[in-house]
Structure 1
Amino acid sequence: METNDDIWELRLYIAGKTAKSVLALSNLRKYCEEHLKDKYVIEVVDLLVNPQLAEGDQILAIPTLVKKVPEPIRKIIGDLSNEEKVLVGLDIRPARK
Protein backbone atom coordinates (compact mmCIF):
# COMPACT_ATOMS: atom_id res chain seq x y z
CA MET A 1 0.00 0.00 0.00
CA GLU A 2 1.43 3.32 -1.09
CA THR A 3 1.38 6.14 1.43
CA ASN A 4 1.83 9.83 0.72
CA ASP A 5 5.21 10.01 2.41
CA ASP A 6 6.84 7.20 0.41
CA ILE A 7 10.06 8.38 -1.20
CA TRP A 8 10.97 6.52 -4.38
CA GLU A 9 14.67 5.66 -4.53
CA LEU A 10 15.85 5.29 -8.10
CA ARG A 11 19.37 4.52 -9.29
CA LEU A 12 20.36 5.10 -12.91
CA TYR A 13 23.48 3.32 -14.14
CA ILE A 14 25.25 4.99 -17.07
CA ALA A 15 28.69 4.87 -18.71
CA GLY A 16 29.85 8.39 -19.38
CA LYS A 17 27.85 11.16 -21.00
CA THR A 18 26.65 9.22 -24.04
CA ALA A 19 23.56 10.37 -25.93
CA LYS A 20 21.63 7.38 -24.58
CA SER A 21 22.69 8.07 -20.98
CA VAL A 22 21.79 11.75 -21.19
CA LEU A 23 18.42 10.89 -22.78
CA ALA A 24 17.68 8.28 -20.10
CA LEU A 25 18.36 10.75 -17.28
CA SER A 26 16.34 13.48 -18.98
CA ASN A 27 13.37 11.13 -19.52
CA LEU A 28 13.58 9.84 -15.95
CA ARG A 29 13.59 13.35 -14.46
CA LYS A 30 10.60 14.33 -16.62
CA TYR A 31 8.53 11.28 -15.54
CA CYS A 32 9.44 11.75 -11.88
CA GLU A 33 8.47 15.43 -11.90
CA GLU A 34 5.20 14.59 -13.59
CA HIS A 35 4.18 11.51 -11.58
CA LEU A 36 6.19 11.51 -8.31
CA LYS A 37 6.40 15.26 -7.59
CA ASP A 38 8.78 15.81 -4.63
CA LYS A 39 8.61 12.12 -3.67
CA TYR A 40 11.73 10.75 -5.35
CA VAL A 41 15.51 10.73 -5.30
CA ILE A 42 17.62 9.83 -8.31
CA GLU A 43 21.15 8.54 -7.82
CA VAL A 44 23.22 8.48 -10.99
CA VAL A 45 26.06 5.95 -11.04
CA ASP A 46 28.64 6.41 -13.79
CA LEU A 47 30.26 3.02 -14.32
CA LEU A 48 33.25 4.62 -16.05
CA VAL A 49 34.01 6.26 -12.68
CA ASN A 50 32.84 3.44 -10.36
CA PRO A 51 32.78 0.16 -12.34
CA GLN A 52 32.72 -1.92 -9.14
CA LEU A 53 29.21 -0.64 -8.35
CA ALA A 54 27.71 -2.61 -11.27
CA GLU A 55 28.08 -5.89 -9.38
CA GLY A 56 25.79 -4.98 -6.47
CA ASP A 57 22.72 -4.57 -8.68
CA GLN A 58 23.91 -7.10 -11.29
CA ILE A 59 24.04 -4.56 -14.09
CA LEU A 60 24.60 -6.21 -17.48
CA ALA A 61 23.62 -3.38 -19.84
CA ILE A 62 23.50 0.39 -19.70
CA PRO A 63 21.72 2.61 -19.19
CA THR A 64 19.81 0.64 -16.55
CA LEU A 65 17.35 2.10 -14.07
CA VAL A 66 16.92 0.30 -10.74
CA LYS A 67 13.98 1.07 -8.45
CA LYS A 68 15.22 0.31 -4.91
CA VAL A 69 12.29 1.63 -2.85
CA PRO A 70 9.42 0.97 -2.63
CA GLU A 71 9.87 -2.75 -3.09
CA PRO A 72 9.83 -4.91 -5.11
CA ILE A 73 13.12 -3.94 -6.76
CA ARG A 74 12.61 -3.41 -10.48
CA LYS A 75 15.03 -2.84 -13.40
CA ILE A 76 14.49 -1.16 -16.74
CA ILE A 77 17.16 -1.17 -19.44
CA GLY A 78 17.42 1.46 -22.17
CA ASP A 79 16.98 5.18 -22.71
CA LEU A 80 13.55 5.21 -20.97
CA SER A 81 11.91 6.88 -23.98
CA ASN A 82 8.72 4.79 -23.73
CA GLU A 83 6.90 6.53 -20.85
CA GLU A 84 4.14 3.94 -20.52
CA LYS A 85 6.67 1.09 -20.34
CA VAL A 86 8.69 2.94 -17.68
CA LEU A 87 5.64 3.73 -15.54
CA VAL A 88 4.37 0.15 -15.75
CA GLY A 89 7.87 -1.22 -15.12
CA LEU A 90 8.29 0.91 -12.01
CA ASP A 91 4.68 0.33 -10.91
CA ILE A 92 3.92 4.06 -10.93
CA ARG A 93 0.33 5.09 -11.32
CA PRO A 94 0.18 7.99 -13.77
CA ALA A 95 -0.67 11.32 -12.18
CA ARG A 96 -4.09 12.67 -13.02
CA LYS A 97 -3.92 15.48 -15.55
Structure 2
Amino acid sequence: MTGLHEALTLSMTTPSLILGYSILIALALRKLWFSVLICMLWGAWALHLLLDQIGNEPLITAQKIGCIGSTVPYILIGSALCTAMLCIIFIYRRP
Protein backbone atom coordinates (compact mmCIF):
# COMPACT_ATOMS: atom_id res chain seq x y z
CA MET A 1 0.00 0.00 0.00
CA THR A 2 1.42 3.36 -0.97
CA GLY A 3 1.15 6.68 0.82
CA LEU A 4 -1.54 7.78 -1.65
CA HIS A 5 -3.67 4.73 -0.86
CA GLU A 6 -3.25 5.40 2.83
CA ALA A 7 -4.23 9.06 2.32
CA LEU A 8 -7.39 8.00 0.50
CA THR A 9 -8.21 5.49 3.22
CA LEU A 10 -7.68 8.06 5.98
CA SER A 11 -9.76 10.65 4.14
CA MET A 12 -12.80 8.38 4.37
CA THR A 13 -12.74 8.19 8.17
CA THR A 14 -15.42 10.00 10.15
CA PRO A 15 -13.20 12.75 11.66
CA SER A 16 -11.69 13.50 8.25
CA LEU A 17 -15.11 13.79 6.62
CA ILE A 18 -16.35 16.07 9.40
CA LEU A 19 -13.25 18.27 9.08
CA GLY A 20 -13.56 18.32 5.29
CA TYR A 21 -17.17 19.47 5.42
CA SER A 22 -16.21 22.00 8.09
CA ILE A 23 -13.71 23.51 5.65
CA LEU A 24 -16.53 23.97 3.14
CA ILE A 25 -18.71 25.59 5.81
CA ALA A 26 -15.85 27.88 6.85
CA LEU A 27 -15.37 28.95 3.24
CA ALA A 28 -19.08 29.68 2.93
CA LEU A 29 -19.24 31.67 6.17
CA ARG A 30 -15.89 33.44 5.60
CA LYS A 31 -15.32 33.83 9.32
CA LEU A 32 -11.67 33.93 10.31
CA TRP A 33 -12.16 32.61 13.86
CA PHE A 34 -14.08 29.58 12.57
CA SER A 35 -11.39 28.75 10.02
CA VAL A 36 -8.68 29.03 12.66
CA LEU A 37 -10.68 26.65 14.87
CA ILE A 38 -10.94 24.17 11.99
CA CYS A 39 -7.18 24.40 11.41
CA MET A 40 -6.52 23.72 15.08
CA LEU A 41 -8.84 20.69 15.00
CA TRP A 42 -7.16 19.43 11.84
CA GLY A 43 -3.77 19.81 13.53
CA ALA A 44 -5.00 17.88 16.56
CA TRP A 45 -6.25 15.08 14.29
CA ALA A 46 -2.91 14.99 12.43
CA LEU A 47 -1.02 14.94 15.73
CA HIS A 48 -3.19 12.05 16.91
CA LEU A 49 -2.40 10.11 13.73
CA LEU A 50 1.31 10.86 14.05
CA LEU A 51 1.52 9.87 17.72
CA ASP A 52 -0.49 6.72 17.02
CA GLN A 53 1.95 5.83 14.26
CA ILE A 54 5.02 6.50 16.41
CA GLY A 55 3.79 4.74 19.53
CA ASN A 56 2.43 1.59 17.90
CA GLU A 57 5.11 -1.01 17.12
CA PRO A 58 2.91 -3.32 14.95
CA LEU A 59 2.01 -0.31 12.81
CA ILE A 60 5.69 0.46 12.19
CA THR A 61 6.35 -3.17 11.32
CA ALA A 62 3.40 -3.20 8.90
CA GLN A 63 4.77 -0.09 7.22
CA LYS A 64 8.20 -1.66 6.84
CA ILE A 65 6.83 -4.71 5.04
CA GLY A 66 4.47 -2.63 2.88
CA CYS A 67 1.04 -3.46 4.27
CA ILE A 68 0.31 0.11 5.41
CA GLY A 69 1.42 3.30 3.71
CA SER A 70 2.84 6.39 5.34
CA THR A 71 0.49 9.02 6.76
CA VAL A 72 2.78 11.87 5.65
CA PRO A 73 0.95 12.55 2.32
CA TYR A 74 -2.37 12.75 4.18
CA ILE A 75 -0.95 15.23 6.71
CA LEU A 76 0.61 17.31 3.92
CA ILE A 77 -2.67 17.42 1.98
CA GLY A 78 -4.55 18.44 5.13
CA SER A 79 -2.09 21.20 5.95
CA ALA A 80 -2.24 22.47 2.36
CA LEU A 81 -6.05 22.59 2.56
CA CYS A 82 -5.91 24.51 5.84
CA THR A 83 -3.35 26.96 4.47
CA ALA A 84 -5.41 27.57 1.33
CA MET A 85 -8.57 28.01 3.39
CA LEU A 86 -6.92 30.58 5.64
CA CYS A 87 -5.50 32.49 2.68
CA ILE A 88 -8.84 32.58 0.89
CA ILE A 89 -10.75 33.62 3.99
CA PHE A 90 -8.16 36.25 4.92
CA ILE A 91 -8.44 37.81 1.46
CA TYR A 92 -12.22 37.55 1.00
CA ARG A 93 -13.57 37.73 4.54
CA ARG A 94 -16.66 39.69 5.40
CA PRO A 95 -16.28 42.69 7.71
TM, length-normalised to structure 2: 0.30
Q: Please identify the structure whose Cα radius of gyration is greater.
A: 2
Higher strand share: 1
Higher relative contact order (CA 8 A, sep 6+): 2
TM-score of the superposed pair, with normalisation by structure 1: 0.30
